[in-house]
Structure 1
Amino acid sequence: MKLNAVLPTLLMMGTASLALTASWSVNAQTSAAQPAFADALAGYLTAVDNQDAQGQLLQARLAYELGKAEFGQSHVNTANLAMNYAHALGLKANYLLRSAPEEDFPTQTELLQYAVSVYEKEYGPESTELVEPLLKLARSYYIDNGRDFNTKKKNVLRAVELSKTLPPLVRAEVYIQASHILSSEYRSLSRRYAEQAYDLYVEHAPENAVERNLAAFNMAKFYMGERRYDQAESMLKDVIAQFSVLQYDTQVSLAAHAFLVELYERKGERELATEHCLAIGSMTPWLENQEQTPIFRTLPDFPTGMAKRNRDGLVQMSFTIDKTGFVKDVEVIKSDGGAAFERSAIKAMQEWRYAPKFENGKPVEAQSTVQLDFLIRR
């Protein structure tokens, strides 16, 4: 799906592109572009291809500054260059560079507010072309204005409203992005958009469409949070089945398996969780020299007597992860605070589940260690 293109091809996003606007025709103006601008844009595109975050930022800034002279401050091409610049600023790898005291970068929000204003003048305040810049602008408030929740929400609501005339699958993608942007502060609204996206994908996309299965995975996460385990279980199983055929990103499949482990453990159906512990173990390398991460864990109870006495404690344990991911043979190798902390820690550990170690394609028992800290908030 294409976006408004900037000489000659692309406008970068942090998420999948929206097919909201036609590609900008560059034939007449590309040949007239100043060499410095063309070189800067080519450098930006090369940095994108090479996943060079710092190169993207420096070249995007240069292309934007030269583009203002090339096209003018009020031209939509300059607005698109500003969105490239904003995207590069938002890359996590550029945090130190954009925060350096000797640098004087604008904020993402400033660049995107400018881009939205140009789009409004170019296409009109009710145009669908505004949907993508508005979503980008809303997302920028997380970085630049973390507590300006109302403005973030306002831009998302406007983008969603403008998207109503777009094709169903494009509208579904708008809902997905809106859901992600609002997930931290507006959970109920985020859930509503996630469900609307999922419904559109079910109605208009085939069962094996990647986007449809990602939307199902997103809905399953909401169901997990609501303890609607039956709905979550069905969706997660379908996602795993589809992605195994599609050979899609294993991280999503791993997460789906992990959710099913948690689901079955919470339902007390521990043997059903085993299949998914084994699946995760077969898909991930075993790192001998670091503490293994449990797929499912329960927090130990803080001993009442110790809490009353305002006592902290710690318990370090060695244990065996068996072939199905259960914990056994727990032994205390170090503790501080007394036997009550040890008993609580051992009891909790017996409820944990891990992905077993695999050797030559088969699960084997393995040793690991963990330290549990019991700390009173003061």
Structure 2
Amino acid sequence: MRSAKHLSIPLLVAASLFSAYSVADEFRDTYRAFQTAFNDQNIPISLALGKKAWQLGTKKYGENSDAAAKLHFSYANVLAIAGKDAQAVDHFEMVADEYRTVFGDDSYTTVVAYVDIIYSLAKLDHRAEGRNDLSAELARYLVLNIDEIDYKNTTERAFAHVEAAKAVVESPSAIRVSPHSLRRLFEDAVRYAEEEWGNQDLRTLEAKYMLGVALSEGRQKDEAIAHFNTVASVFRDNLDFTHPYELGAHARLVGLYEQRGESDKATEHCQAIGRMKPWKPDQEPEPLYRVHPKYPPKAARIGREGSVTMSFVVDEEGFVKDIEVKKSSDRDRLFNEYAVDALSQWRYAPKFEEGKPVKSSPYFVQLDFKLER
């Protein structure tokens, strides 16, 4: 879903650039055919026509033109959609260079392009060479330079900060910046969003959610809990359906409260999830909180490793029930009790049918016990 929306941005912009031309030249016909193929979800044809449109557009408008850069962006996106991950990474890297050259390092257009590239990279196979390096490079640029951009107005500034915060969270790789720099980005995103759109706007709530994510991964657990509670309550009070960020906030709160040993509060948020109206009427269980099993002391002493396969169901409130050990690799069953204990603490968003939470069918999971070497 994200990729199709993502692709439409450069396509639509490019279309506006060329709409004034009335001469039925090869470029125009190729580009129109490309648009038609993409709208019809004909990816193989889109690949061929997208590449040709980019090459013709570069020849027609110049290598360092905004039109050529945007056409190249469209082609890179089609490569990503088609699963050509390694090629997509290479072209996204070239696109990033082209946007820096054409629009400048301090351009709002360049910032938005970097954000979209990070989103696309996050969806590629993690084994794609260069994926993580490029994502980390672009995310680091956003964190360190977002305040130096030449914004035309406060709306651009607020939008850029919120989108940059979301992209940094989406980045599939670690970013080498200080925790202070990261926190400043997220706090500025919240501040600018509140100033521009108010406390209850979706974009402000997105920024608060991202700030909560950043804080929860550091030491500021109390502040993270406060932000997630705010996001959940505003959505609850203003929408008659459950927004994904509301589910995300409840899910994060389940994990944070469990980490603090406050299982009663974690349970409240599991129950809140069970009462929610999902954005899809039929929805499979989604994991919210998992714990790794403890290693049995006796097995550790004798150097034994093993695995336990179990079946379970997720009830209407997202709790794991009806756990049964189906297979144990250890004849002494040293690992069974510890595997069952860990699984019983897992939490899910429940299965929904016709908008109502229901008990799931049995699921199977294997927990492995391996000693560190």
Normalising TM by the smaller chain, what interval?
0.7 to 0.9
1:149-188 maps to which residues of 2 (within 5 A)? 152=138, 155-156=141-142, 160-179=146-165, 180-181=167-168, 184-186=174-176, 188=179
Q: Deviations over 1:270-328 (max 9, x none)?
A: 333334324444537465xxxx6643222111123322433211122344655544445
Question: Matched residues in 2 for 1:16 and 1:176: separation?
Answer: 20
Match of 1:109 in 2: 93
Letter matched to residue 73 of structure 2: M
Question: Matched residues in 1 for 2:189 and 2:8: separation?
Answer: 14
Match of 1:68 in 2: 58
Choose from 303, 309, 312 the match for 2:296.
303
Question: Matched residues in 2 for 1:166 and 1:297: separation?
Answer: 45
Residues 61, 219 of structure 1: alpha-carbon distance in 2 compared, 3 angstrom cutoff: same
Contact 2:290 2:345 in 1 (8 A): yes
Helix, strand or coil at the partner of 1:295: strand
1:191-270 maps to which residues of 2 (within 5 A)? 191-244=183-236, 245-246=238-239, 250-270=243-263
State the Cα distance separating 1:218 from its structure 2 match: 0.7
Helix, strand or coil at the partner of 2:133: coil
Question: Matched residues in 1 for 2:337 and 2:55: separation?
Answer: 64
Residues 26, 331 of structure 1: alpha-carbon distance in 2 compared, 3 angstrom cutoff: closer
Helix, strand or coil at the partner of 1:30: coil
Contact 1:293 1:354 in 2 (8 A): yes
Helix, strand or coil at the partner of 1:376: coil
Q: Provide the identity percentage.
A: 28
Residues 152, 335 of structure 1: alpha-carbon distance in 2 compared, 3 angstrom cutoff: same
Helix, strand or coil at the partner of 2:334: helix
Choose from 343, 365, 368 the match for 1:370.
365
Question: Matched residues in 2 for 1:186 and 1:368: separation?
Answer: 39
Contact 1:138 1:156 in 2 (8 A): no
State the Cα distance separating 1:339 from its structure 2 match: 3.0
Match of 2:125 in 1: none
Match of 1:346 in 2: 340
User: Which structure has the larger Rg?
Assistant: 1
Residues 234, 314 of structure 1: alpha-carbon distance in 2 compared, 3 angstrom cutoff: same
State the Cα distance separating 1:366 from its structure 2 match: 6.6
Letter matched to residue 116 of structure 1: R
What is the number of equivalent residue pairs in this alignment?
349
1:279-318 maps to which residues of 2 (within 5 A)? 279-281=272-274, 283=278, 285=282, 294-318=287-311
Helix, strand or coil at the partner of 2:366: strand
State the Cα distance separating 1:349 from its structure 2 match: 2.7
Residues 153, 330 of structure 1: alpha-carbon distance in 2 compared, 3 angstrom cutoff: closer
Contact 2:311 2:324 in 1 (8 A): yes
Contact 1:67 1:81 in 2 (8 A): yes
Helix, strand or coil at the partner of 2:28: helix
Question: Matched residues in 2 for 1:231 and 1:269: separation?
Answer: 16
Contact 2:313 2:320 in 1 (8 A): yes
Question: Matched residues in 2 for 1:250 and 1:213: separation?
Answer: 11
Q: Deviations over 1:219-258 (max 9, x none)?
A: 1111222353433333223323444535788433322221
Choose from 29, 34, 40 the match for 2:30.
40
Question: Matched residues in 1 for 2:112 and 2:148: separation?
Answer: 10
Q: Structure 1 length as normaliser, TM-score?
A: 0.74
1:277 aligned to 2:270? yes
Helix, strand or coil at the partner of 1:370: strand
Q: Structure 2 length as normaliser, TM-score?
A: 0.74
Contact 1:82 1:115 in 2 (8 A): no
Helix, strand or coil at the partner of 1:41: helix
How large is the Cα RMSD of the aligned pairs? 4.1
1:4-43 maps to which residues of 2 (within 5 A)? 14=6, 26=18, 29-32=20-23, 34=25, 36-43=26-33
Q: Deviations over 1:192-239 (max 9, x none)?
A: 212211111112212332211111111111122235343333322332
Helix, strand or coil at the partner of 2:291: coil
More moved, 190-199 vs 169-178:
169-178
